[in-house]
Amino acid sequence: MRRPDNEIPAIAPVRGVLNRTPDFVLALTSTTVFSRAVEWTVEAYRRSTGGVPMSGWGFGKTETTGHSSPPMLFGIEWANGEFASNMPGRRMHGGLSNTGTSRGSPQHFQVTFRLDHLPPPGPFTVVTAWPFYDVKRR
């Protein structure tokens, strides 16, 4: 599903640190809600310099090309037990996709994920990991 061209989205106050190591932070920096979709922007920050650029290309794949890292793993579990993710082998599991708006460097990365429907009401849990950078599931 494309982002609606004829809607002004609502900004939801859902943001914060998702995962952290001594060298790395993953943060949910914005949540945008449309009438039939939700977008989350996630950013990663590294203290270390050098190395391959962080990447969201190859959505759901675990290998690296040497020119960039394999992508961060991102998933959301809803109160009713449904799960949406970009886990390997599941390019669009649960209606989640990479919007194609990602950019990265060795120290900063930003990606926007879109859910192609509104989630069910109730609490949800965000799960992240980036094994290439030794960021464990949280």
- Flag whether the pTM goes above 0.85: no
Q: What is the pLDDT of residues 14-41, one digit of tens each?
A: 899 999 999 889 999 999 999 999 999 9
Contact 54, 45 (CB under 8 A): no
Nearest one of 67, 49, 44, 63 to 135, comparing CA atoms: 44
How many CB atoms sit inside 10 A of residue 82's CB? 13
DSSP state of 130: B
Domains annotated for the chain, with CATH where assigned, are: 10-133 (2.60.40)
Q: pLDDT digits over 38-50, tens only? A: 999 999 998 888 7
Contact between residue 50 and residue 36 where contact means Cβ atoms under 8 Å apart: no
Collapsing DSSP states into helix, strand and coil, what is residue 68?
Answer: coil
User: Is the model's pLDDT at 62 over the cut of 50?
Assistant: no
